[in-house]
Homo-oligomer: A and B are copies of this chain.
Amino acid sequence: MATLHDVAKAAGVSPMTVSNVLNKHPHVRAETRERVLKAIDDLGYRVNVAARNLRAGRTNTIGFAVPEVDRPYFAQLAARVIARAQDAGYRVVIEQTGADRENELSAIVSSRTRMYDGLILSAVGLGSADRDLLTTDVPMVILGESVFGSPVDHIALPNEDGTYAATMHLIDQGCRRIAMIEGDDVSRLSVTSLRHAGYRRALEERGLDPDPSFVVELHELSPEGGRRSAHELVDRGSAIDGVVCITDTVALGVIRGLADRGVSVPGDVKVVGFDDILEARYSVPSLTTIDPDHDEVARLAVDLLLARLADSPDWQPKEHVTGFRVVARESTG
């Protein structure tokens, strides 16, 4: 494989001139540039990124750590993050953490090996106990719940308000016995506990009794988990007329699970999700959901990180909560 030196020799110039051509430095005579470019072409030369990264001290790559790439929400977010980063000349490496604390930490460690210039971390497994570990020298943006007091930028979804609005929407549509299908860790400051709080707040505000038997804990954040939870609710005989689901993925499974039991949506039971994944628009019935503005999340995440990379000395960690809107579709019609 040809190196920059080979090109220099072939073009009859110094290696530095070749480098200058490659990096589009201004003061290179047109004729020289042509000669160098021709040599590059003749030899099929490609710059060696490892050497460049070493010398430059940067990789032009950012990491994006998510629980699972194949969850529509993250896949769709990743596509946006990649597109936006690409515009700014950055490559994106997706790391799968499996919602596992160890792996989330290892993603951080990866970035400390200078593999990434910065990291966008969709944190699920980290808790306040990990705040020290987040104190890295590598720029980082956290997506998800705030790890209290950690000195990093942070983008939160409107978890409580969104779920509150979703629940209100069901009540407005006439539901009175509303179930919630949620994650498995209500105790921590987490997506689950926040969304649970939004649900409770709406019920209380409207004077509806929060029946504990209406709350189902998922075993798995997936359509299959949603389907099983729906079966459980129906088989248990709770006469519900509405279901708030912690995510769209789960909600689609719930609709399926209700269909399995001959319960019609929205006729017998109305269903609302959270995330507005693409699939929500195409299910039968289409899914009412909370749209947390993915575009804004992706844009903010990348822009905050890039701003940090630009290394302004007066940087202060910021916290953002994105907006949302209720998208009413057939499942609550």
Binding site for B on A (CB under 8 A): 1, 46-51, 53-54, 59, 68-70, 72, 75-76, 78-79, 82-83, 86, 91-94, 96, 109, 112-115, 137, 223-224, 227, 252-253, 255-256, 259, 278-279, 281-284, 286
Oligomeric state, in number of copies? 2
Instruction: Verify A78–B70 contact, CB threshold 8 A.
Output: yes
Instruction: Verify A93–B96 contact, CB threshold 8 A.
Output: no
Name 29 A/B residue pairs within 8 A (Cβ), A-sorted.
A46-B112, A46-B114, A47-B113, A48-B114, A49-B113, A50-B50, A50-B54, A50-B59, A53-B53, A68-B79, A69-B78, A69-B82, A70-B72, A70-B76, A70-B78, A70-B79, A70-B278, A82-B94, A82-B96, A83-B96, A86-B96, A93-B94, A94-B94, A252-B279, A252-B282, A256-B283, A256-B284, A259-B284, A283-B283
Dominant secondary structure of chain A at its interface with chain B: helix
Complex partner residue of A256 from B59, B68, B76, B282, CB under 8 angstroms: B282
Given contacts A49-B115, A51-B54, A69-B69, contact A223 B76 (CB under 8 A): no
Bound-complex Cα distance A72 to B82 (A): 17
Q: With a CB–CB cut-off of 8 A, which chain B residues contact A224? A: 282
Instruction: Verify B281–A223 contact, CB threshold 8 A.
Output: yes
Q: With a CB–CB cut-off of 8 A, which chain B residues contact A46? A: 109, 112-114
Bound-complex Cα distance A49 to B93 (A): 15
Q: Nearest Cβ distance between residue A108 and chain B, in whole angstroms?
A: 11
Instruction: Verify A256–B70 contact, CB threshold 8 A.
Output: no
Given contacts A49-B115, A114-B50, contact A253 B278 (CB under 8 A): no
